[in-house]
A and B are shown apart, each in its own frame.
Chain A
Amino acid sequence: MPDGDGSEPITGDELLYRRIPASQGWYDPQFSKLNRLAFNPIKFDTTGLSLARGKYKSAELIAVGQPGKQYYLAELRAQDLYDNGINVVPNPLPGDPGHAEIPSMTYESRKSTEVLEAQILLAEKLTLRVLGPFPEHV
């Protein structure tokens, strides 16, 4: 894992991950179908939709959430986002230097055409694969 503080720009070849709570049914493993709601900004997404930079943490660590719950990870490539007009920026947090976000996708803007269409694009076109669930057993 890098020693950086997470403030360096996100290069096109970086892999990014969106954590998806299995409890919400937003990913259907039977049909490998990811729903756009996995990219719906929630109330905490005040400055952007949260992503994790793969170079800072393993998938297993990125997927850590509420005890007793399982999570999937949607894998994205930064360049694919850039090519589709979706900007992603570093947003390191204390203890989490690999935190990044899509600043155009906030709770405030969640009903805008741009955000609603970006949700579908991210879920149906730009997600390379879905990993998990993590942990495998609860």
Chain B
Amino acid sequence: MSLDTERDSATQTRIRQWVETTASDDLTITGEIPDKELSVRGWNEVINYTLIEWGKSPESLDDDGIEPPNRQTVRRACDIAIALRDSGLPCPERVLPNGNGGIVFEKEAGGRLCVFEIESDGLIEYREFLNGRLVHQSPIDKL
């Protein structure tokens, strides 16, 4: 599984442009550790701690009216995290359940919010907000 040329090129370009910009910002902030190494480490923490823990104990997210992600959704989120990590994209700042059985990866910088949402039915959506306004939304089905 990898990001490849089959994927919607416009969306891929938007994702890459934005995440590369924020990766540079991260490097400025964090200083010493090369951004790629930092990012790989971040993705590994997302996979090995957050997602695997959710997969092992989905009941930890079970709550009043909330549908936790099931193991299949967690597995899919792991696959996507690995694909994004191996494509050199910076790790998300937040990995959160969406309350409807899905999982959200978010990265935010300078009023721009980038969101990957893995839904319980397997659909993946990429959204980009600028100062609270939705400026891009598209399904991603070639990951």
Contact = CB atoms under 8 A, between A and B. Distances in A.
B97 interface: yes
6 contacts: A26-B96, A40-B100, A69-B64, A111-B125, A120-B129, A120-B132
B143 interface: no
Interface in A18-46: 21, 23-26, 35, 37, 40, 42-44
Interface string A1-29: 00000000000000000000101111000
A110 B125 CA distance: 13
A116 B117 CA distance: 13
Given A23-B61, A107-B100, A117-B132, 11 more contacts: A21-B64, A24-B99, A25-B94, A25-B97, A37-B104, A42-B65, A66-B63, A116-B134, A117-B129, A117-B133, A117-B134
A104 to B, nearest CB: 15
- What size tier do the contact residues of chain A reach? 20 to 34
Among A23, A110, A111, chain B packs the most CB atoms within 10 A around the CB of A23
A24 B63 contact: yes
B66 interface: yes
A115 to B, nearest CB: 10
A119 B86 CA distance: 31
Nearest to B106: A35
A129 B66 CA distance: 23
B134 A113 contact: yes
Contacts of B63: 21, 23-24, 65-66, 69
B60 interface: yes
A116 B129 CA distance: 9
A21 B61 CA distance: 9
A26 B125 CA distance: 20
A89 interface: no
B26 interface: no
Nearest to A121: B132
B44 interface: no
Contacts of B61: 23-24
A116 B134 CA distance: 7
Contacts of B71: none
Nearest to B117: A111
Interface string B65-104: 1110000000000000000000000000010111110001
